[in-house]
Amino acid sequence: MRLTLEEIRRKEVVNIIDGTCFGFADDVAIDTETKKIVEIIIRGRLRLFGLLGKEEDISIGWNEIDTIGRDIILVKTERKGKMHNRKDSFLQKFFNIFF
């Protein structure tokens, strides 16, 4: 399978160990000497529209990727992600920042 960076960016990254979601892949890191992808990068989410900074970026090694599907990237890692519920309303997301 051949993928472009744009296609990778549309895929959500989920940990198959505990089912948590890391978010969408934002970027990839490439080793210029070996010409291979080293890791995918998920940028930290903004906290309160960026006023409270942002969460840390998450880097997942290429060797931790289990499967790349049509809509999702399944990874097997011991890193802890947050369980993001996409159906949260704005107010629920707002209060989750503080509580």
Q: Which CATH number does the domain housing residue 67 bear?
A: 2.30.30.240
Q: What is the pLDDT of residues 20-63, one digit of tens each?
A: 888 899 999 999 999 999 999 998 877 777 677 778 889 999 99
- The count of structural domains within the chain is 1
Domain that holds residue 73: 5-98
Q: Residue 6: is its pLDDT beyond 70?
A: yes
Asked whether the beta carbons of 22 and 49 are under 8 A apart, the reply is no
Tell me which residue has tokens 């998450």.
58
| 2 vs 98: which has the higher pLDDT | 2
Within its chain, how far is the Cα of 79 from the centroid? 11
Coil vs helix vs strand at 33: coil
* Residue 50: predicted pLDDT: 66
User: What's the pLDDT score for residue 36?
Assistant: 92
Looking at the chain, the whole-number percentage of residues with pLDDT higher than 90 is 41
What pTM did the predictor assign? 0.70
